[in-house]
Amino acid sequence: MIRPLTTQNILAIESSCDETAVALLRGEGDAAQLVADRIASQIDLHARFGGVVPELASRAHMRILPTMVREVMDSAGWVWDDLDAVAVTAGPGLMGALLVGVSFARGLAAAKKIPLLPIHHLEGHLLAAGLDGALPPFPFVSLLVSGGNTLLVRVDGVGHYRLLGQTLDDAAGECFDKCARALGLAYPGGPAIAKAAQRGDGRRFALPRPMLRKPNLNFSFSGLKTAVAYLLRDQPELRNDPQGVADVAAGVEVAIAEVLAVKALAACREHGCRALVIAGGVAANHRLRQELARRCHVVGVGLHLPQGHHCTDNAAMIAYAAWHRLRLGLPIPPRDSWDARARWPIEELTIDD
């Protein structure tokens, strides 16, 4: 157990997938100030493959991370001796990509003899709303929607997380990406579908709302992807008609937004939570934001939307989660007792009272 300190200068690294990110955060008492926040996306590198290529992702992290850390430190006017702790995403994610950040962080913390905090990537997302305003009062529900995850989590406090529901197959972002590919749209598919959908009629095709009426908080998006595949198989001319593409895109977007919003509000209702936070790349989707805002307004639930660059993968959220852990004196595993973890269930983070 580390003793709570009043001032903490934290350097954080995120390299779990296809973003290399470094942030500096200064915590003083109960306040945290983001000093630097840098993200380098690898989208251009992976676009021609239609998805993230793990080996290329690891190599790109290797190339960019040392320079990025140096530039971020210089931009803030910090020197190595200013650092009190190093935080790093230790999982879940792509193993090779994680190892780049973890190895760098380990080396730095060992050289400077300062604490090293392995942070769960999803804990970063769950708390990220606090970077752009105060965190809502506990307990709140977080809807985490990205390319790899679709989860509903009840956040009872820092280090107290309860998984309420998750996707049984494809994540919402994955469904956007696969439907976009079927329509011949660019990667990543979410923004491409959102753009095409602006001119589309979401009611032209009756696409399914998977699991909408099921009495649980789980999701399933593979049926929606399959419905789009069958629609395009039966009406191949749609792919060559801009209006057809726009209408299918709008149908996909409306279906995903509706399912996510209905389930998120059901989670708030069933768990007596008055606040809902959304996070993850799909949280950037305007239609989803509008749908959530409308439904939250009707039932009096407060909606908390982090800024776009704090919804997607970033290191500021890792620094922020680390700061909370230090501030509260939560246990930090000894440096040699942990490693990067490709799989790491969020429930394992929950500490006993």
Min dist CB 204 to ligand KG4, Å, is 20
The contact pattern for ligand KG4, residues 261-280, with x = CB under 6 A and - = no contact, is -------------------x
Q: Which is nearer to ligand KG4, 146 or 167 (CB)?
A: 146
Site for ligand KG4 in 162-201 (CB under 6 A): 173, 176-177, 188-191, 194
Looking from the CA of 256 toward its CB, the CA atoms found within 13 Å total: 36
Residue 147 found at the interface with ligand KG4 (CB under 6 A): yes
Cα angle 224, 304, 147 (rounded to 5 degrees) comes to 35
Which structure tokens are listed for 21? 């990110």
Min dist CB 189 to ligand KG4, Å, is 5
Separation CA 340–CA 4 (nearest Å): 25
**Binding piece for ligand KG4, criterion CB under 6 A, among 83-91, 103-111, 145-153, 225-233:** 145-153
Separation CA 23–CA 37 (nearest Å): 4
Separation CA 99–CA 95 (nearest Å): 6
Site for ligand KG4 in 9-38 (CB under 6 A): 17
Q: Which is nearer to ligand KG4, 27 or 92 (CB)?
A: 92
Residue 314 found at the interface with ligand KG4 (CB under 6 A): no
Min dist CB 33 to ligand KG4, Å, is 24
Q: Which is nearer to ligand KG4, 50 or 157 (CB)?
A: 50
Q: Which is nearer to ligand KG4, 247 or 313 (CB)?
A: 313
Q: Which is nearer to ligand KG4, 142 or 285 (CB)?
A: 285
Residue of the chain from 58, 146, 150, 314 that contacts ligand KG4 (CB under 6 A):
146
Contact indicator for 279, 144 with CB cutoff of 8 Å: yes
| Cβ partners under 8 Å of residue 29, min gap 6 | 6
Separation CA 317–CA 332 (nearest Å): 18
Q: How many residues bind ligand KG4 (CB under 6 A)?
A: 19
Residue 312 found at the interface with ligand KG4 (CB under 6 A): yes
Residue 282 found at the interface with ligand KG4 (CB under 6 A): yes
What is the crossing angle of helices 172-182 and 242-270, to 10°?
A: 170
Q: Which is nearer to ligand KG4, 177 or 247 (CB)?
A: 177
Contact indicator for 220, 132 with CB cutoff of 8 Å: no
Site for ligand KG4 in 59-118 (CB under 6 A): none
Tokens 């008492």, located at residue: 29
Min dist CB 281 to ligand KG4, Å, is 2
Contact indicator for 224, 208 with CB cutoff of 8 Å: yes
Min dist CB 178 to ligand KG4, Å, is 9
Give the closest residue to 330 by CA, choosing from 308, 347, 345, 349.
Answer: 349
At 253 the three-state DSSP class reads helix
Residue 142 found at the interface with ligand KG4 (CB under 6 A): no
User: In terms of DSSP H, where are the helices of 151-237?
Assistant: 172-182, 189-197, 222-234
The dihedral sign for the CA sequence 270, 276, 281, 283 = positive
Residue of the chain from 89, 285, 318, 323 that contacts ligand KG4 (CB under 6 A):
285
Residues making contact with ligand KG4 (CB under 6 A): 17, 146-148, 173, 176-177, 188-191, 194, 280-282, 284-285, 312-313
